[in-house]
Amino acid sequence: MGLQSKHKVDASFSMSSMTDIIFLLLIFFMLTSSFITPSGLPVNLPSSETSDIVMQEITVTVTKDLKFSVNDKVVTRDQIKTELTALLKDKKGQVVLHIDKQVPVEYLVEIGGIAANLEANVSIATQPYK
């Protein structure tokens, strides 16, 4: 007796569509994540109406207790010029200043002047109004 079914059911499951969805979600989350890298030292940034996102090549951070860092490397106030000179050697770069809002303006002007003398584009990191 031939009691075999004419319709065979395939018990295999194709994962290709599932991997496509996972790959697209991964790309989506990578592109929508923040492009700003936080600085190594905790800084309370001042607020601004316009807060543009710039690619951070070189960051200079000054905390409220006057600790200085260049690209997350803790330095003294006197070492800032030599560090920036070494990083900006033979190129025109972007220097982003992460200055705590409680730091006196003289430090902002001094570091900005050093970077401007080295022909770098200087910008100040701020946070948008809440």
CB proximity list for 44: less than 8 A, separation 6 or greater: 64, 100, 101, 102
CATH topology of domain 47-128: Nucleotidyltransferase; domain 5 (3.30.420)
Domain boundaries along the sequence of the chain = 47-128
d(CA 26, CA 35): 16
Select from 109, 106, 114, 115 the least CA-distant residue to 57. 115
The distance in angstroms from the start CA to the end CA of the chain is 80
Torsion of CA 83, 87, 91, 93, to 10 degrees: -90
33-80 confidence digits (pLDDT tens)? 766 555 566 665 665 566 555 555 788 888 888 888 888 888 888 888
Tokens 């923040």 found at: 34
Tokens 């030292």 found at: 41
84-108 confidence digits (pLDDT tens)? 888 888 777 888 888 888 888 888 8
pTM of the predicted model as reported, rounded to 2 decimal places? 0.58
Q: Which has more confidence, 119 or 24?
A: 24
